[in-house]
Amino acid sequence: MTAQTDTLIEISGLQFSHGSLEVLKGLDLAVPRGKVVAILGASGCGKTTLLRLIGGQLRPAAGHVRVDGQVIHELNTDALYEMRRKMGMMFQQGGLFTDLSTFENIAFPMRERTDLPDELIHDMVLMKLHSVGLRGAHPLMPSELSGGMARRVALSRAIAMDPLLIMYDEPFSGLDPISLTQIGNLIRGLNDALGVTSIVVTYDVAESLKVVDYACFISDGRIVAQGTPDEIRSSTDPFVRQFVDGLPDGPVAYHMPARPLADDFALTP
């Protein structure tokens, strides 16, 4: 993947810590323009932290994140917000505004970031909802949507401003098989139709390999494996095989390090 000449995101030597906990320890990654890339790994490995560093919500301790030629943590406030206008984000569980209708959720970024007239916003919102099959749901409140519908509305909001980059944080979690397929097909279809670049953060190997161009695995704060879906499926790397096969134990240990069991259960005299 790093051999691609047209790279939208270049990450080099990225380090980040939460207090004394090292999360990223020199991570290197290149994301080609126009592709769908999955970031996989165990819970707590730093996947969502990586998205926040790309979006400029966090600053690295070392290294850099370069998006469309600009180093994110070096941008001033105005330049950072201008860069974020080029990014769409689909949050875990959708992240819809509960007091706004489906229509107003999609219209929100248009009203906040543009001076478009209401008539044009109306048409654009319906077009975005139509692209995810939910134009008829525009008057519904988030509480009236199913889990799968809420994710599709969230995806519609993520593309509302025609971004250069779309980031998905756990888009497959908690969905039924039909909704899983719908979301996966939308991620792939919208990426190709809009000509954007997509990063999918997930622990769902099976679903992500159906729709992505490349998959990368994070462990111990670094990228430890990457490749096309076919390369990942045929990999003999123990870490990759544990994820692909869903093995309960392996490089990602089942037991958290602890002192000997006998010491914890020893009886006091």
| Cα separation, 135 vs 84, whole angstroms | 26
What total of structural domains would you count in the chain?
Answer: 1
Q: Which residue segment(s) compose the domain that 177 sits in?
A: 35-58+68-224
The CATH code of the domain that includes 74 is: 3.40.50.300
| Cα separation, 81 vs 76, whole angstroms | 9
Q: What does pTM read for this prediction?
A: 0.87
> Does some domain include residue 179?
yes
pLDDT single digits (tens) 138-179: 999 999 999 889 999 999 999 999 999 999 998 988 888 888
> Does some domain include residue 140?
yes
Q: What is the mean pLDDT of residues 31-51?
A: 92
> Does some domain include residue 22?
no
Q: What is the mean pLDDT of residues 33-40?
A: 96
Q: What is the mean pLDDT of residues 51-57?
A: 95
| Cα separation, 134 vs 154, whole angstroms | 11
pLDDT over 50 (residue 68)? yes
pLDDT at 232 (0 to 100): 93
> Does some domain include residue 259?
no
Tell me the pLDDT band of 3, cut-offs 50, 70 and 90: very low
> Does some domain include residue 230?
no
Using CA atoms in the order 87, 91, 96, 97, what is the torsion angle rounded to 10 degrees?
Answer: -80
> Does some domain include residue 166?
yes
Tell me the pLDDT band of 4, cut-offs 50, 70 and 90: very low
Q: Which of 218, 234, 217, 239 is nearest to 226 (CA)?
A: 217
| 161 torsion bin: left (phi>0), alpha (psi -120 to 50), beta (else) | alpha
